[in-house]
Amino acid sequence: NMKNNLAQAPTVHIRKFFDEARKNKAAGTKKNTCKSSRLYTKAVIMGFKRSLRGQSTNTNLVKIEGVEDTASTVAYCGKKILYMYRAKTKKNGSFMRTVWGKVMRSHGTSGVVRAKFVRNLPPCSIAAPARVMLYP
């Protein structure tokens, strides 16, 4: 039954996602003919903030594309983050639903950030893509 469930977020393998991003970035440095009009950076929701035996479901860990260390997370602190998912029923003319959040601070030394969302994200959002907005 879970296979037919359209509400399940599409999963992305994190290593494959970032290897592809590095490849695209290296290819893009050769020549940049068209200007990018994308107003967000791709990201992957890694899971909840947790300790060894407990987890804080009100805080999510998010890996942002192209961010590899703590110093580069500073630019994203305070930015809005968007998690989109597909629902079974149409609402306001769309099957897509959104949950907005905010990047709070960095987490660790490898460029992961902590984010808080308006509503806690469901467990099926782990490994799902998200968007970090680059404006205000």
- pLDDT tens, position by position, 36-56: 788 999 999 999 999 999 999
For residue 18, give the 3-state DSSP assignment.
helix
Kindly tell me if the per-residue pLDDT of 2 is higher than 70.
Answer: no
73 exposed, middle or buried (CB, 10 Å; 0-12, 13-18, 19+)? buried
CA distance 51 to 62: 16
The CA-atom distances, in angstroms, between 103 and each of 20, 31, 44, 47, 127 are 24, 32, 13, 14, 17
Q: Determine if the pTM surpasses 0.85.
A: no
Residue found under tokens 């893009």 = 28
* Weakest-pLDDT range from 3-17, 23-37, 100-114: 3-17
